[in-house]
Chain A
Amino acid sequence: MKKTTFLLLAVLVVFLGLASICTAEEGVTDTTIRIGQWGPQTGPAAPWGAVARGTGVLFQMINEEGGIHGRKIEYHMFDDAYNPAKTKAGVKELQEGIGIFGWASGVGTAPGLAVKDYLMQRKIPWVGPAAGSLHWISPPQKYLFAVYPLYYSEAKILCKYAIEKLGKKRIAIAYQNDDYGKNGVSGAEVELAKHGMKLVAKVPVELTDTDMKPHIMQLRKARADLVLLWVAPGHAVRIIGTGRAMRFTPQWMSTSTCSDFPLMMAISKGLWRGVITGSFAQLPDSTSPLMLKYKKAFEKYAAKGERWGVFFYAGIGFVEPMVEGLKRCGRNLTRERFVKEMEGIRNFKGIFGRIDYAPFDPNDPYCRQGQKELFLIQCEKGGKAKSLTGWMEPD
């Protein structure tokens, strides 16, 4: 009798165990949701590594508040050094090793491209890549939700402002010779063409370039009165500094990737003053309740020496829609349900601009582009930002 009871119990345990395995979604348990992210903590792109650390602080805050419907977020972040090979290896290791429910943010176009197909083929959700690349939405992917406004759109907005508000006639661009820079070039060209204009110079900058004199000579030769800098912060500073040394001082404009004004002012020894950039998020000194809440979490959980800069809290903003999607799922969390709930997000407002998604339509790239708007800011004395416009969308 005893033996039979034991056997029955054993069968029951195995059956229940199997049943729970069959119904549970990968990366989700009764008490946890596993989320992954890569980010460069070493190497040349390491300043952007703050994004992944910012996300970590948000998740810590959520866990402290009790998690999402009783589940704590188990956050797995790794350093890919902005090396696509390392990104792919790290994602595969975590995905196939411990099982990740979905991926949050992740810095860089090239690292993201290295894993895009892998994640999409396995129907694994990925929300808020930290790059405004067209690759995320053209063609749109059912499980990929972009947040960062497109570089292409940002270039259009900047050019429109340069022509219509600043009256500039000779616009040039210095661009990083990769997908990031080329997206900026194409946006600028389209907007200028609308006004019957062309870029007077297109000067590529390689990641390894440190001497910017040839670039400045080309820009000066083209007699540009406004130059768009679609490059990394270090290169942007070198270009402006070399321009100053060669007495070439047009109006400079740059992208949101160079909108961390306190940092830019510090490394440019004050030359960043007057530069206009796009901004996809509230300003660092914003006193909105949400920003104040996040800032408090930053003070509580961030590592010593961490700075409340744009890249850091962008790591929070990129995953806000993901958290919203998880909340909308309730206890019944599956990937399909999550995608459905994400598609239902409209007029969502966190610390970024307005975010809208729509049901998946392979012919509508914007069904997966959450944020389309941004506003323009100008760097003032001491690295303060002055808003030049309200939230704008490209035409």
Chain B
Amino acid sequence: MGELVQTLVSGIAVGSSYALMGLAMVIIYKTSEVINFAQGEMALLSVFLTYMVLEYYHFPFYVAFPSALAFALLLGFFLEFAVLRRAKEPNVLGMIIITIGLEMILMGFVSWKFGAEPKTMRFPLSPYDSLSLGEIFVSSLEALTFVVALTLMTVLFLFLRYSKLGIAMKATQQNKMAARLMGIRTNRILMITWGISSLVGCTAGLLIAPTIMQPYMMWDPMLKGFAAAVLGGMTSLPGSVFGAYIIGVVENLFGGYVSIEFKSAVAFFIIVLVLCIKPSGLFARHYVKKV
């Protein structure tokens, strides 16, 4: 019984970092229907710059972390303004290809600037200290990630549902032309969306970096976050978080009781399964365009 509980707790713990990446992807998809494959590398750049500020210039955490979030926000703004907005006659597929290109450029830059050798970042909490309840353990960092993921999900959910800006984002996604006619500056909305998404991704990166940092470190969380977002329906924030926890738990149950060899692949099997049964994802309420 203890083993089962530990497996479930571990699954939820690991699901939290997937949830953050899933949230970041959903925010952009909700407004532009673009899947941002550069999400992980946008976070990667912010995290490596934080590492530089902490290790080379010895700034304290309370300066480095808020600066990282501010940088991530600006990076999101910049990429949307300088790259995506410049695309001629953009369609969704073209935009996705642009994000793949951005992913390669950002990873190449980080590899060139910081080298490939693994690193680790100082953090107020050790990733190897744990909280325990009897024989059930969860690392302090994972507990923090869990709290951050749920808090961000709630804040973003409330923001998108009740704030003027959030409603404008939703309107932009549903009908860009109508939104513009209503006086919404849709380009600015898209830029803000990219900024917020980048900020959420950076938060995930900052919580992953204390374990091991290397140029490839965000690839797996990004893929799992994407899987979680697809599972949740791509447009639902709670859906992506819930999807992430499902993936985390199933991975751990599968690894513990079926086959540890295929543990990482099971997430993608779940996606195929869910998409076959419910193509729009578990939580999506799709806006249907009338023809």
Please list the residues of chain A having a beta carbon within 8 angstroms of any beta carbon in chain B.
Answer: 40-44, 46-47, 49, 177, 203-204, 206, 208-211, 213-215, 217-218, 221, 233-234, 237-238, 241-242, 244-247, 263, 266-269, 271, 305, 307
Given contacts A217-B6, A238-B211, A246-B130, contact A269 B120 (CB under 8 A): yes
Listed residue (B115, B129, B221) with the most chain A CB atoms within 10 angstroms of its CB: B115
Give the nearest-CB partner of B14 in chain A.
A211
Listed residue (B215, B248, B263) with the most chain A CB atoms within 10 angstroms of its CB: B263
Give the nearest-CB partner of B256 in chain A.
A214
A307 touches B220 (CB 8 A): no
Q: A40-B116, A44-B214, A269-B126 are in contact. List 8 more A-B contacts (CB 8 A).
A: A41-B116, A213-B13, A214-B10, A214-B256, A214-B263, A217-B10, A246-B130, A269-B120
Give the nearest-CB partner of B139 in chain A.
A245
Given contacts A211-B251, A217-B3, contact A42 B116 (CB under 8 A): yes
Chain B residues whose CB sits within 8 angstroms of the CB of A211 once the complex forms: 10, 14, 248, 251-252
Given contacts A44-B214, A217-B3, A245-B128, contact A267 B264 (CB under 8 A): no
Chain A residues whose CB sits within 8 angstroms of the CB of B256 once the complex forms: 214, 217-218
A269 touches B116 (CB 8 A): no
Whether B170 sits at the interface, judged by CB under 8 Å, is: no
Please list the residues of chain B having a beta carbon within 8 angstroms of any beta carbon in chain A.
Answer: 3, 6-7, 10, 13-14, 108, 111, 115-120, 126-130, 132, 137-139, 211-212, 214-216, 220-221, 248, 251-252, 255-256, 260-261, 263-264
B128 touches A307 (CB 8 A): no
A47 touches B137 (CB 8 A): no
Question: With A and B bound together, what is the CA distance between A247 and B6 in angstroms?
Answer: 13
A47 touches B117 (CB 8 A): yes
A111 to B: closest C-beta gap in Å? 16
Chain A residues whose CB sits within 8 angstroms of the CB of B214 once the complex forms: 44, 46-47, 234
A266 touches B116 (CB 8 A): no
Q: List 23 A-B contacts (CB under 8 A).
A: A42-B111, A44-B216, A46-B111, A46-B116, A46-B215, A47-B116, A206-B263, A206-B264, A208-B264, A211-B251, A213-B13, A214-B256, A217-B3, A217-B256, A234-B118, A234-B214, A241-B211, A246-B130, A263-B117, A267-B118, A267-B120, A269-B126, A269-B128
A238 touches B212 (CB 8 A): yes
B212 touches A237 (CB 8 A): yes
Chain B residues whose CB sits within 8 angstroms of the CB of A307 once the complex forms: 117
Chain B residues whose CB sits within 8 angstroms of the CB of A213 once the complex forms: 6, 10, 13-14, 252
Within 8 Å by CB of A215, from B119, B127, B260, lies: B260
Question: With A and B bound together, what is the CA distance between A244 and B13 in angstroms?
Answer: 16
B116 touches A247 (CB 8 A): no
Question: With A and B bound together, what is the CA distance between A241 and B127 in angstroms?
Answer: 8
Give the nearest-CB partner of B127 in chain A.
A241
Question: With A and B bound together, what is the CA distance between A234 and B214 in angstroms?
Answer: 9
A268 to B: closest C-beta gap in Å? 8
Chain A residues whose CB sits within 8 angstroms of the CB of B10 once the complex forms: 211, 213-214, 217
B139 touches A49 (CB 8 A): no
Chain B residues whose CB sits within 8 angstroms of the CB of A246 once the complex forms: 130, 137
Closest 3 pairs between A and B when the two form their complex, measured CB to CB: A46-B116, A214-B255, A213-B10
Within 8 Å by CB of A221, from B3, B211, B221, B248, lies: B3
Chain A residues whose CB sits within 8 angstroms of the CB of B260 once the complex forms: 203-204, 214-215, 218
Chain A residues whose CB sits within 8 angstroms of the CB of B117 once the complex forms: 46-47, 263, 307
A247 touches B263 (CB 8 A): no
Question: With A and B bound together, what is the CA distance between A218 and B255 in angstroms?
Answer: 10
Chain A residues whose CB sits within 8 angstroms of the CB of B128 once the complex forms: 241-242, 244-245, 269, 271
Chain A residues whose CB sits within 8 angstroms of the CB of B220 once the complex forms: 208, 210
Chain B residues whose CB sits within 8 angstroms of the CB of A206 once the complex forms: 261, 263-264
Question: With A and B bound together, what is the CA distance between A177 and B264 in angstroms?
Answer: 13
Chain A residues whose CB sits within 8 angstroms of the CB of B221 once the complex forms: 210
Give the nearest-CB partner of A247 in chain B.
B137
A177 touches B216 (CB 8 A): no
A233 touches B251 (CB 8 A): no
B252 touches A214 (CB 8 A): yes
B130 touches A267 (CB 8 A): no
B264 touches A263 (CB 8 A): no
B40 to A: closest C-beta gap in Å? 13
A343 to B: closest C-beta gap in Å? 37
Chain A residues whose CB sits within 8 angstroms of the CB of B129 once the complex forms: 245
Chain A residues whose CB sits within 8 angstroms of the CB of B215 once the complex forms: 42, 46
Given contacts A46-B111, A214-B252, contact A233 B118 (CB under 8 A): yes
Question: With A and B bound together, what is the CA distance between A267 and B119 in angstroms?
Answer: 5
Question: With A and B bound together, what is the CA distance between A213 and B263 in angstroms?
Answer: 12
Chain B residues whose CB sits within 8 angstroms of the CB of A237 once the complex forms: 118, 211-212
Give the nearest-CB partner of A232 in chain B.
B118
A76 to B: closest C-beta gap in Å? 21
B7 touches A245 (CB 8 A): no
Question: With A and B bound together, what is the CA distance between A44 and B119 in angstroms?
Answer: 13
Question: With A and B bound together, what is the CA distance between A177 and B265 in angstroms?
Answer: 14
Give the nearest-CB partner of B248 in chain A.
A211
Question: With A and B bound together, what is the CA distance between A177 and B6 in angstroms?
Answer: 25
A77 to B: closest C-beta gap in Å? 15
Give the nearest-CB partner of B142 in chain A.
A245
Question: With A and B bound together, what is the CA distance between A266 and B256 in angstroms?
Answer: 30
Chain B residues whose CB sits within 8 angstroms of the CB of A44 once the complex forms: 214, 216
Give the nearest-CB partner of A243 in chain B.
B128
Chain B residues whose CB sits within 8 angstroms of the CB of A244 once the complex forms: 128
Give the nearest-CB partner of A241 in chain B.
B128
Give the nearest-CB partner of A244 in chain B.
B128
Chain A residues whose CB sits within 8 angstroms of the CB of B139 once the complex forms: 242, 245
A305 touches B126 (CB 8 A): no
Chain B residues whose CB sits within 8 angstroms of the CB of A47 once the complex forms: 116-118, 214
Question: With A and B bound together, what is the CA distance between A47 and B217 in angstroms?
Answer: 13
B160 to A: closest C-beta gap in Å? 30
Chain A residues whose CB sits within 8 angstroms of the CB of B14 once the complex forms: 211, 213
Question: With A and B bound together, what is the CA distance between A46 and B107 in angstroms?
Answer: 13
A210 to B: closest C-beta gap in Å? 5
